[in-house]
Structure 1
């Protein structure tokens, strides 16, 4: 039976092999003066070089000179050069084994090292177990073990011993963590945990399967299902704080396993491991179900008001004919009154003669109805669906304990009033109920007639609760998405530590003084340039800016070159392409078993599962269309090897390899990026994230918001609602990409731009360059009085309120520090700030800061045609990505049919990885095609390559049978033969 391995072959080479590259050799094998003094005592050159090699290899990798390991020539040459001996002398070294052993002892004493013995194994296990608290990956565990043994002054034992110690240490860490969690529970709780994987006749399945199997589409039945499951989970009696007893990684690992492991597999686990995994699963389900229920409550309450508004709009549309008739009637009446005034006639007689008194009186009921419709508040119409609200609101309020800051205390009291009224089954509310509504109209409507209208009151309370939960000033402990606003950020002390490393002046007065000086200078310069008509394509006409449209930036010669190169690209199946990209980039190593951290023993199963996600084919149909991969293998692979973290790690490897390709220099410096949303229709039954956006038609759907570097590397994507604003998500992908790419400039269209994004991009070190559709109509901001800037007064808006920025400066710095450190996603903060019905102080301060940066950007845009062209080019690259995405994602009519957001995210991740892989492969072969074209006499201007895109797919067979067994791997350094465009004609001839 094969021995279990902790490390892959590549990992073993990285950890244990003697380095070959020059930088590592110089770093590890430069001899110190005391080394040279010791070695110099040896008489024979062979012994001097041999002892120096012993010393060098005891330092790194740490094993010393092993008899079965060849020392690279580069290392020997470097050591020999330092000793001024001939490298060939090493061939004469150690002909007597005793010499090698004596020199090993001398080198060990010189370095203060001692050998690793059997009695030292417990120490090695402790070191490995401590490392395994933070990871299950073999390489970091063994690396930490090696470093720990070196610190204890050991000569490292054999590689096999280190790997076995790493395996044993990881097993010990897992067992210790499981025991810590399980020992916290009593017999009753453990019995309920054990029951989770026992079939229950009430559910027709195991309780665990029932808890996991919930619908996310917003309906009253589904929210009640979520609340029922949440009550069941809380009834088990697990305190979420138990997770804090073990390291975060280890608890997260239990949660990941508990989220996907089926009951039959869990039953095969050891007792403590099974219980720990189920406990973590229960804690995770508690938070997920709570978040899901609140999110569904948000959408259901929002739909009451949306439908109310739509109903009112329909009634408006239905009344257009009546309005027209009434307007004509009143027009005739006014004309009759005007004639009476002008000629002194009897107004009543003239009205009766011209209009007909009876017609005027009969119109009164229509006028009253239209007046009522025009003044109708959405609350009144939403209350018309009160019965729908009552199907879930009592259970929702009873399930959660809401907490609030001072401003939300009245709302908490109002919720208690409703709970109490529900519990007493009373029909009316008590006297003196709280009215926590900022909207005065609502207060008037609720108390209309001198008595509180319960239906309107309860509807208004639910709507207010929804808004406050979104903003974070009402929160629910134990949730992930509805916590107190403050908890999303670093503590003030931690933020202060980060502040010094932020790319801006963190002293408010100094910062604002510099921006005021810059803004004033830029506005004055712009006014002079505009007056002198020195701005290309920009003019001021009748106090309005006029911008000439940008001409097409792709010359016809580039399009012709694109066709020539496309014709040369090899014809390839998507299976062959993925196998080749995996071989060249190594991205398959990112997909590891969630439990063991091992790589998959069948790479084709991983690739097929990715392709099933990204092409929207699905696992079953992929298995039917594939050779050598069964549905069972794909389902298992998808469950245990594909995760958001693994997808992101694999994508990062492809993107890094892509940016290293020399051909990408034609497309930019690798320092800019763009982002945009792409709409996809959902299934016939609306899914969790699907919404109807009239911009895309009448069918529900969702958007994938993606980020693309100027090298055409698609480094980020995420699912978002079709109706949500894109701006909050701009920085999410940008921060993700900035960790691996040197990004400095980012392009979006109008939908991705708000003043808040301008502010945060600048404070995080990015230049934000949106293509604003209405830039000529947006007012410029100034810190000095707008009248200061002569000639452009009509372009100026109100003065920027720097006092508001100064008042909340510390919180702004704290937000930026939190985003920079990855403590919170930028979209989470921006959505919270946007959720306030009335703009709060921090939101306003950040927007005012953004007005400074938006104004400076607008001046750049108007003064620099090159910036406008660069933005246009960046966004065109994103459009090419969208076109490729639509071509790949064609199965099931290109619809997102998955109902859960989690499965939709898998689809989006798979699609993005396929796009990145195709872009990488195309770039490799476009380079070869361009070289071939030039070498065969087809000259062209290299500048034309900047206009080409690696997002083509005509030469790739994306559909059909997926023949993984025939997707042969290329040898190292081997490439596919370029296509011969004339091959078909030659065959015919």
Structure 2
């Protein structure tokens, strides 16, 4: 049976708050008249009002005896009914008559065969793409409510959802079974058998193989893995017509199982799970191969640059020798006016300095490595990769996503000459895919004309290929991260009906010309206003060169009253350990209800809620199952903790648990004194991980191998969403995605970030999505301000403007820009995927150029406000300081395992970060509960408590939190009830 707690099926709250009672259960005048019209008996009127208000809240009729006492008493008092009157039905006939009267009054149809059909149709449609019974039940509830049909008992919906899911899945399983030949079925079964190898693992285990860190050896291993996956049974034909969401769910279920567990499934389902796993493994392997290829090419270039620097150092002494020789030659020419005498002296001088031949060799060597052209040095580092990269090209199918096919044609020529031994080849190549420096390196002048140096040509083509795969100008068939993003976008025919509503929602003009005109006017007006106000602007000044400079604000010291309030609070904070905090917050918010088997069934383990709390503590504090089990005094084994994490928790469940805590947190008054919830800040912090995985990279700033936990923190201090990304990735691509993925009640429309958030494409995309991007910018002088047109000049700030906006480019691609945004809104493509393509310079991609041009407009408008408004800069700094404080706070709670994430699986690494967010948000929630209680007590005692001082507080206090020692859980302990609506 599906857990009712994981569905939207309405139920009474155990302890409704006074505000909820007033809002939901107070009868109106019309409702009192309705009850009086139905029956003049007080007991009967009371029963009708109870059923009416209960039905309005639940959508079905509960038993009168099951209505909570607090609700009964509230309706009794609000209706003026005597305390001696009891809501009891002596006859069922009367109860059913009242049910029918209430349905007619509310214009709601009774649950019958029509309701069963409506719910069944909704579930059947959803079951084609969903697999969790709780999701199917929620879809049915939504449709029944929309069509104003009474909800049935939960058990009815649960049985119906299971039956429909079984029918839909069995149809899928049987369809796939008929597509499999007997030999293919036998091959799939053989994957689950232990093979004679040192690891004594099944071939199914090898399907889950994770890529190791980027190296030539591991690149070769990954290619071998791709070949093995290709040779396994299973093709697109076997899974044809199955929705991709279903395939992903089946693959996730298979990944959580081992071979022995899979054997217990019936053959049809077993085969679909294995085929889905193989299908997803092939896609992931291609993504991993592209990542590793890009990293290897970057490494080759790094080694080339390092070699160039080494040669410069090596030849520095020779350079100094040549310069000294030239100085002596010049001195001879100045002191000896006769050419003949000077010539003899110079020849003698050059002989003493090594002779003309040696000096010419030195000049040639230095000339070869002058400037920054390290391209001729790359061959020696590329040569060892050559066979592997050519093998990769034969395994992958790549296509150009632009009209420019020059790189694809060059690639064909490269493959044609794979086995040539001669260095020079005679071919006609269009080098428009690369730059002039590469062209000079590749082409050599000979007696037969200009020929291509094959060695340099290979490095050139593979370098360009890595860059265009990264920018999205080249796609990989069968990949996901590097697929053709154009195929993921909505067509313009699909977008056109949505344009008007979307533009009205965001206040945009509905056609390209009007959109550009309004944007140009906005830029011109803002620039003119800043220029006119410059003389009186206390936030701006001029340096000796006439360049505007930002004036610093005076640091604000905290008031003595604020410090006294903080000290009083800290003194009264109760000592708590992390597990107690998780238990308390679970009792108040029921965040652990989202954990459970991937099948959606009720967990079949003892004390599941307690196990989920212990698992969250184990992984959120990075203790690991073995270490946590030791400190839990045998309350749970390491296997139990590992099993819960593997089989009952994933990123979606963790996000849902976080959402519950955030929503309850947002109901408190105290956080609203810290921020409105309309702005958030994004920033990353490094977590150490082992280097034997593809995500690990060496972080230059922090040192050591690791990944970046990229957090989105609300201005109310709570963590909204987090990603775990490689150190080398451009963090800005995740700025918008975190807001779009956040589904909590806190919905910021302004996002602050560090300097990385100032990219023009990010400004453009955030603007089109209705998000205000306001990053903290350190070197703003290095950014280009753009004029609205060439004729416009400014009296005070003209020196800032270096270029002009290409309005024609934006107008031409207005439809393309809207198509991208509407596709993101529809969930067809993620903003991070798109920005990964748009975050890399592409001269070919006109969409990138249009986004960049629009971003230049938006960024210039922001920069003008940033430099002229000191309060805005202070607000940005204050909010970004909160995310930096959260980074330290969450790491303080990540105290186990020396702070190193031990798992090499990227999915598990992401889960660990979300576990840590869950623990951190729980502690933040508990701190706000305690601070609210203490503030009310202080005020009752006469302690001076004012809003300004309270606004300086923070929930990131840790002095009262116990992290170490033996951990004891008592999930049955009931904490004091909380009422977030009460004023402080």
1:186 to 167, 181, 188: 181
- 1:285 and 2:281 are equivalent in the alignment: yes
- 1:14 and 2:19 are equivalent in the alignment: no
- Quote the residue 1:663 is aligned against: 670
TM-superposed CA distance for 1:783, in Å, is 0.9
- 1:822 and 2:827 are equivalent in the alignment: yes
TM-superposed CA distance for 1:666, in Å, is 2.1
- Quote the residue 1:679 is aligned against: 686
- Quote the residue 1:985 is aligned against: none
Q: Can you list the C-alpha shifts for 1:240-273, whole angstroms capped at 9, x where unaligned?
A: 3655634554433212101221111111112222
Find the residue that maps to 1:392 and give its secondary structure.
helix
TM-superposed CA distance for 1:373, in Å, is 1.4
1:652 to 646, 651, 659: 659
- Quote the residue 1:979 is aligned against: none
- Quote the residue 2:698 is aligned against: 692
Find the residue that maps to 2:711 and give its secondary structure.
strand
Return closer, same or farther for 1:64/1:946 CA change in 2, 3 Å cut-off.
closer
Contact 2:401 2:475 in 1 (8 A): no
Q: Can you list the C-alpha shifts for 1:279-336, whole angstroms capped at 9, x where unaligned?
A: 2111111211111112112211221112111221232234444434444443444454
- Quote the residue 2:982 is aligned against: none
Return closer, same or farther for 1:325/1:950 CA change in 2, 3 Å cut-off.
farther
- Quote the residue 2:854 is aligned against: 849
TM-superposed CA distance for 1:864, in Å, is 1.5
Contact 2:76 2:83 in 1 (8 A): no
Q: Can you list the C-alpha shifts for 1:384-416, whole angstroms capped at 9, x where unaligned?
A: 123321241132112112223464544334444
- 1:703 and 2:701 are equivalent in the alignment: no
Return closer, same or farther for 1:224/1:182 CA change in 2, 3 Å cut-off.
farther
2:752 to 733, 747, 752: 747
Find the residue that maps to 2:721 and give its secondary structure.
strand
Q: Which runs of structure 2 are paired with 1:117-128 in the superposition (5 Å)? A: none
Quick check: 728-737 or 15-24, which moved more? 15-24
Contact 1:877 1:949 in 2 (8 A): no
- Quote the residue 2:593 is aligned against: 589
Contact 2:659 2:743 in 1 (8 A): no
2:805 to 797, 800, 809: 800
The 1-side partners of 2:571 and 2:99 are apart by: 62
The 1-side partners of 2:569 and 2:817 are apart by: 50
Return closer, same or farther for 1:555/1:340 CA change in 2, 3 Å cut-off.
farther
2:615 to 609, 613, 620: 609
Return closer, same or farther for 1:348/1:573 CA change in 2, 3 Å cut-off.
farther
Quick check: 312-321 or 963-972, which moved more? 963-972
TM-superposed CA distance for 1:667, in Å, is 1.1
Return closer, same or farther for 1:862/1:604 CA change in 2, 3 Å cut-off.
same
Return closer, same or farther for 1:94/1:80 CA change in 2, 3 Å cut-off.
farther
Q: Can you list the C-alpha shifts for 1:442-462, whole angstroms capped at 9, x where unaligned?
A: 344334255543333322222
Find the residue that maps to 2:766 and give its secondary structure.
helix
Return closer, same or farther for 1:585/1:146 CA change in 2, 3 Å cut-off.
closer
TM-superposed CA distance for 1:28, in Å, is 11
Q: Can you list the C-alpha shifts for 1:613-641, whole angstroms capped at 9, x where unaligned?
A: 33333222222332312111011111112
Contact 1:687 1:897 in 2 (8 A): no
Find the residue that maps to 1:823 and give its secondary structure.
coil
- Quote the residue 2:486 is aligned against: 486
Q: Can you list the C-alpha shifts for 1:34-69, whole angstroms capped at 9, x where unaligned?
A: x78xx8476756556666777787787565574754
Normalised by the size of structure 2, how large is the TM-score? 0.87
Find the residue that maps to 1:218 and give its secondary structure.
coil
TM-superposed CA distance for 1:832, in Å, is 1.0
Return closer, same or farther for 1:546/1:487 CA change in 2, 3 Å cut-off.
same
The 2-side partners of 1:556 and 1:77 are apart by: 45
Return closer, same or farther for 1:473/1:970 CA change in 2, 3 Å cut-off.
same
1:236 to 226, 232, 236: 232
TM-superposed CA distance for 1:897, in Å, is 4.3
- Quote the residue 1:95 is aligned against: 90
Q: Can you list the C-alpha shifts for 1:464-496, whole angstroms capped at 9, x where unaligned?
A: 222222222322222101111312422222333
- Quote the residue 2:171 is aligned against: 176
- Quote the residue 2:319 is aligned against: 323
- 1:874 and 2:871 are equivalent in the alignment: no
- Quote the residue 1:259 is aligned against: 255
Quick check: 291-300 or 445-454, which moved more? 445-454
The 1-side partners of 2:437 and 2:256 are apart by: 50
The 2-side partners of 1:772 and 1:335 are apart by: 52
Q: Can you list the C-alpha shifts for 1:634-674, whole angstroms capped at 9, x where unaligned?
A: 11111112211112222222222222221112211111111
TM-superposed CA distance for 1:563, in Å, is 4.2
Q: CA RMSD in A?
A: 3.9
- Quote the residue 1:986 is aligned against: none
The 2-side partners of 1:603 and 1:58 are apart by: 30
The 2-side partners of 1:311 and 1:75 are apart by: 82
Q: Can you list the C-alpha shifts for 1:477-523, whole angstroms capped at 9, x where unaligned?
A: 22101111312422222333333314133422222222222322222
Q: Can you list the C-alpha shifts for 1:862-905, whole angstroms capped at 9, x where unaligned?
A: 22211111111112112211222332334444334443323322
The 1-side partners of 2:14 and 2:928 are apart by: 32
TM-superposed CA distance for 1:159, in Å, is 4.6
The 2-side partners of 1:494 and 1:124 are apart by: 28
Contact 1:716 1:733 in 2 (8 A): yes
Contact 1:678 1:882 in 2 (8 A): yes
Return closer, same or farther for 1:190/1:711 CA change in 2, 3 Å cut-off.
same
The 2-side partners of 1:127 and 1:812 are apart by: 34
Contact 1:408 1:474 in 2 (8 A): no
- 1:969 and 2:973 are equivalent in the alignment: yes
- 1:900 and 2:908 are equivalent in the alignment: no
TM-superposed CA distance for 1:420, in Å, is 5.2
- 1:471 and 2:477 are equivalent in the alignment: no
The 1-side partners of 2:26 and 2:272 are apart by: 48
The 2-side partners of 1:155 and 1:855 are apart by: 55
Return closer, same or farther for 1:559/1:705 CA change in 2, 3 Å cut-off.
farther
The 2-side partners of 1:717 and 1:445 are apart by: 44
Return closer, same or farther for 1:115/1:769 CA change in 2, 3 Å cut-off.
closer
- Give the gaps of 5 or more residues in structure 2: 980-984
- 1:397 and 2:393 are equivalent in the alignment: yes
Contact 2:7 2:134 in 1 (8 A): no
Quick check: 662-671 or 129-138, which moved more? 129-138
- Quote the residue 1:957 is aligned against: 962
- Quote the residue 2:761 is aligned against: 756
The 2-side partners of 1:184 and 1:349 are apart by: 93
Return closer, same or farther for 1:365/1:212 CA change in 2, 3 Å cut-off.
same
Contact 2:476 2:482 in 1 (8 A): yes
The 2-side partners of 1:780 and 1:964 are apart by: 60
Return closer, same or farther for 1:967/1:65 CA change in 2, 3 Å cut-off.
closer
Normalised by the size of structure 1, how large is the TM-score? 0.87
1:206 to 198, 202, 206: 202
Q: Can you list the C-alpha shifts for 1:198-245, whole angstroms capped at 9, x where unaligned?
A: 222368421110121233311223223222232232333433365563
Contact 2:2 2:600 in 1 (8 A): no
- Quote the residue 1:455 is aligned against: 455
Return closer, same or farther for 1:8/1:755 CA change in 2, 3 Å cut-off.
closer
2:550 to 547, 553, 564: 547
Q: Can you list the C-alpha shifts for 1:754-775, whole angstroms capped at 9, x where unaligned?
A: 1222222222222222221112
Return closer, same or farther for 1:625/1:95 CA change in 2, 3 Å cut-off.
closer
Contact 1:616 1:892 in 2 (8 A): yes
- Quote the residue 1:981 is aligned against: none
2:523 to 519, 525, 528: 519
